[in-house]
Amino acid sequence: MTASNSTDSLQAPVTRLLPTPHETRPLRGLYLESPLEPAAGSGPFVYANFVTSLDGRIAVDNGAVYGVPRSVANPRDWRLFQELAARADCLITSGRFLRQWEAGAAQDVLPLGPRFDDLRAWRLAAGMPAQPDVAIVSASLDFNLPPMLAGGERRVWLLTSAGTPARRLRRHLSAGVRLAADPLPRRLDGCTIRDALGGLGYRRIYSVTGPQVMHTLVADGTLDALFLTVRHRLIGGDGYDSIVEGSAFKRPGDLELRWLYLDAGFGDGAGQHFLRFDAGVSDAGEPCPPSGRY
């Protein structure tokens, strides 16, 4: 994903391969029209998005920074990343990302970005705030709140657990960050994250952080949908992240392919696919018990 964007780069259409029949349609609006509704009586709808190379790289050493491979990042994927953010009530990020952002080693992935006025207008027309709120997942609380979040109109929540450093907790609370779960849970797992944010009234929650939080969500069966962009390039490299980082799941996280689009809108011959997977009947972990709070 890259923050660069231009009108010309978004003009070429995409082709739906699954489900059939095949159909050609504009890139713009593809994810704005995607169903993201929680089932009746369930908790909020939780979804995530990644862009990878054909050999599975989501992050490599780019020299000065460790991040999305430059040869994979592209404005067409970035547009769809932002469309998913436009649909969200709340974004999940992490203390790890905020440390990287402060060091200049991460992208601004707390959209909606300055080049996407149409998406902010879309939210306002739908009766939503111009920007989604933000929930920060962190056990250590070892990060500084970036200026883009401090003192703004967006609500910023903290998801942490008991035993967190009290001094750091007080510092973040004094800066205007609020606790999403109070009292603090003994363990911060996917069920706690889902229930805490659902209890605050959020219905669509978009995880824009990395593979460790992704592992947490999948491990407890709290991920409802995965959007995946696969760029048709083999890039190699010694160090890279998978989309999920952590111990082996007790049960594999089964996902059902809901759609597949071919994006050949590049002049360099290396296109990409856009895929959406929905959670299957069998999740990696035991599903969260119904909380009765929705």
Per-residue pLDDT tens digits for 208-217: 988 999 999 9
Report yes or no on 8 lying in a domain. no
φ/ψ region of 227 (left if φ > 0, alpha if ψ in -120 to 50, else beta) reads beta
CATH, residue 258 = 3.40.430.10
Question: What CA–CA distance (Å, rounded) separates 286 from 289?
Answer: 9
Which pLDDT belongs to residue 68? 83
The total number of structural domains in the chain stands at: 1
CB of 14 closer than 8 Å to CB of 85: no
* CA 233 vs CA 73, 101, 223: distances in Å: 11, 27, 27
Q: Closest Cα to residue 34, out of 12, 54, 20, 16?
A: 16
Q: Confidence band (pLDDT; 50, 70, 90) for 146?
A: confident
Say if residues 96 and 56 touch (Cβ distance below 8 Å): no
Which tokens go with 170? 């007080």
The domain of 237 spans 45-279
User: Both tokens of residue 286?
Assistant: 């035991």
In a domain, 101, yes or no: yes
In a domain, 25, yes or no: no
Q: CB–CB of 129/155 below 8 Å?
A: no
Any bridge partners for residue 229, and if so which? 51, 274
Residue 275 pairs with which residues in a beta bridge?
228, 260
Confidence of residue 281 (pLDDT cuts 50, 70, 90): very low
Average pLDDT, the chain: 87
* Band (152; pLDDT cuts 50, 70, 90): confident
Q: Confirm whether 151 is domain-assigned.
A: yes
Structure tokens at 90: 């709340």
Task: Specify if 36 maps to a domain.
Answer: no
Q: Does a structural domain hold residue 40?
A: no
Residue 82: inside a domain, yes or no?
Answer: yes
Please state the rounded mean pLDDT for residues 156-161.
96
Q: With 50 as the cut, is the pLDDT of residue 143 above it? A: yes
Does a structural domain hold residue 79? yes
DSSP for residue 50: E
CA distances, 261 to each of 94, 197, 228, 257, 274 (Å): 30, 31, 11, 11, 5
- pLDDT above 70: percentage of residues in the chain: 86
